Structure formats: structure tokens, C-alpha cells
Copies of this chain bind each other. A is one copy, B any other.
Amino acid sequence: MSVGTEWLVDAEGCSSEALRNIATVRAVCEEVVACLGLSVVGQPLWHQFPPPGGVTGLYLLTESHLACHTYPERGTATFNLYCCRPRPAFAWDERLRESLGATRVSVRLVDRGSAAESEHATFESMFSESATAQEVTSL
């Protein structure tokens, strides 16, 4: 039985400067929260690691959670958005290009809680969803 949907978003070719700027990365997460009408519980956790200066952000949501990690040395940022209630889609591709300078954005959807009942069906459905991911990925 499904208990939620998770978006796995990987953005590559990003500006290293943007990825080590905690305010910039935080603004992206705050925009996701605002655009999708998510409810943050308590204070989000933010941490900047020593050089090359990647940052991590974690939001505990009424809807589940939002997590972000950046890797300035690789020009990559990853996001997890896990929602146990239906939410509209966020314009990940467009917004991560604008805010972080991403040149490639991959969006994968994963159904949570139902994999054990029908593993094969779940992976088949992920295959069909990968076509959608490819559509939003510009090489």
C-alpha cells in the first residue's frame, strides 16, 4: 500500500559558487516549500561542510521531508522531496537552471510503501516514469 511519493532530483553542471552559498541553496528549498504549500515543522537543519564547502539542508514537513545536498567540487546538487499527500509538480528543471545554473536536471519519481507488495510492477512503473525524466533532462 503506497504511503507517499518521493521526487529524487539531481542537478548537474551547476555553478560551484552557488552550491557553496548556503543562502542561495536555502532560497531554492524555501521556494519549493512555498510553491507547493508545504508545512515545515520546527526549524530546518542547515550545515555547511569545510572546503570545498558543500551544504546540506533538511526540512521536517507535515507532508514528510525535503532534503538537499550540494557538491560544489562536482557542480551537483541533489534534492529529495517526500510527500505523503498529493502535491502539484514543482518546476525543478526551470528553477534549478535559473537559481543554480544547472545544465542538466533529472527528476525521478518513486512510490513509497508499496514496493514490497509488487517490486516488479514498481520498477516497471519507474521505467515508464524515466521517460518523463528524460523529457525534462536537456543534454
Contacts and interface: CB of A to CB of B under 8 A. Distances in A.
A115 B119 contact: no
> What number of copies of this chain does the assembly contain?
2
Interface string A40-61: 0110010101000000101010
Given A58-B65, A65-B67, A65-B69, A12 B126 contact: no
Given A3-B71, A67-B82, A10 B130 contact: no
Contacts of A105: 116
A80 B106 CA distance: 19
Given A10-B114, A119-B133, 20 more contacts: A3-B74, A4-B69, A6-B8, A8-B115, A12-B116, A41-B56, A42-B47, A45-B45, A45-B60, A49-B62, A56-B60, A64-B69, A65-B69, A71-B84, A78-B113, A105-B116, A106-B116, A108-B110, A115-B137, A119-B134
Interface of A: 1, 3-4, 6, 8, 10-12, 41-42, 45, 47, 49, 56, 58, 60, 62, 64-65, 67, 69, 71, 74, 76, 78, 80, 82, 84, 104-106, 108, 110, 112-117, 119-120, 122-123, 126-127, 130, 133-134, 137, 139
